[in-house]
Structure formats: structure tokens, C-alpha cells
Copies of this chain bind each other. A is one copy, B any other.
Amino acid sequence: MAMNKPPPWKVGELAKRTGMSVRALHHYDDIGLLVPALRTASGHRLYDRHDIERLQQIQSLRLMGISLEEVKRLIDGPAVSPRQLIDVHLARVHEQIAMHARLAERLTALAIHLDSAHGASIEDLCSIIEAMTTMEQYFTTEQLDTLRDRRTRISPEHMREVQDAWAEIIPAVRQAMDAGTDPASPGVLALARRWKALVTEFTGGDAAIGKAVMTMYQHEGPALEEKLGHVPTPDMFEYIGKAMKAL
């Protein structure tokens, strides 16, 4: 038997009834969104039936995530069509979702990296992030997924073996190239075979990934060298390419 008190209501009562805070109602008054129909001599706000209807409209629209500004425009002037506003607003929400989804993906990938390299310092954390964002520039999402998937299946020891192999091969190739050795010479061919094997293992035979890696190295060469140690330069790609043709 809720004895519904008749209007006019004071802020506190209205707040309780509608589940709003008194401060919010004050705010709506301040910005002219919901100005109470009357006030007592002492200045207390008194809301009438019409105000309450308006407040319910406001609450409904706010539930849809519409800003107070837009709510006001919608209620006060039917200059904007509801349908159009909903569409625009929905588009904004979808954009937000897409952004947050991308963020969540990055964070999840980051968490995986942190798990594998535990005891990570802030520097490690940041360089992983940097590497990830750099990779995002050059690889498609699927390619990144493929690489991530493959990485999880590789043991840390093997990872180090591969690193060591590159650290051995790259300087060797540079030396041969600088010495003007024929790319088709047996020594260079041996290097090319090892090179090709390493690349194939990394790319899984996917030529697109191989190309992406090359363009990444070409653009980010100096920056990567600091982090990875030994990085092939474009002329080395050319040189070893000749050797591979002679295989």
C-alpha cells in the first residue's frame, strides 16, 4: 500500500522515488535540463507532475548513454530526429567497443608475453609493448595470431638456439659480402641454406610473412638493431637472395 504522495515533491523525495541523487537533480537544474516548476519562499525546489514526466524521459534517454546536452536538445526542440540521433550514437558506441576490443587484444597478448618472461621489469614491459606496436604496423592481425601461436609452441631453449644461429650467420654474411665473395661460392651457399632454414621456420613457409619481415627490417633497421642485436640490412637481403637463387 504505497501511499503515493501527490506532487509537488521536494528534491529528497523525488530523488528517493527516482533513484537519482540530490546532487544530480541540482545539476540538472543548474544546466537548465530540469528546472522545478516552483520553489518555496525559502528557495526549496518543488517538482510537479510535469517535471516528473520530464525526469523519467531524461532517465530513459540517459540509460541509452545519451549525453545531457543531447537529451536537452531532444526534449526541448524536436529539431533532431530521434532515429538519426540513435544511429549516430550507436555508431559512436560501436567505435568505442572496437577501440576497447583492440586494447583488450593488446593487453591479452602482453599478458601472455609477461607470463613467458616472468620476473619482467618495467623496462622489459615497455620494450615488449614497443615491439608489439611496431609489429602491428607491418603484420596483419591474422599473421600476428599465427606468429603468436607458433611462438607458444616453441621451447625457450630452441628460441635461444635460433637467436644464437642468427648472431653467427649475420656477421658471417656481412663479412663475405664486404670481402666481395661470389654469392654462388660454396661457403656463402652454406650460409644461404642455414639462412633459408631459419626463415622458413619463422615464417612457416608463408611468403607474406617473410615479405612483412623484410619491409619491417628495412624501415626499422637501426631501431631494431639496438634491441635484437644483429639485424640484416637491405643489401644483405639482396646478397643472400642471389645466393639462394644459386642453391
Contacts and interface: CB of A to CB of B under 8 A. Distances in A.
Interface stretch (A117-125, A143-151, A191-199): A117-125
Interface residues of A, number: 41
A215 B118 CA distance: 53
Given A63-B133, A107-B90, A129-B63, A114 B56 contact: no
Contacts of A65: 103, 107
Interface of A: 56-57, 60-61, 63-65, 74-75, 78, 82-83, 86-87, 89-90, 93-94, 96-97, 100-101, 103-104, 106-108, 110-111, 114-115, 118, 120-123, 125-126, 129-130, 133
Q: How many copies does the complex hold?
A: 2
Contact of A61 (B97, B103, B126): B126
Contacts of A57: 122-123, 126
Contact of A111 (B63, B86, B122, B123): B86
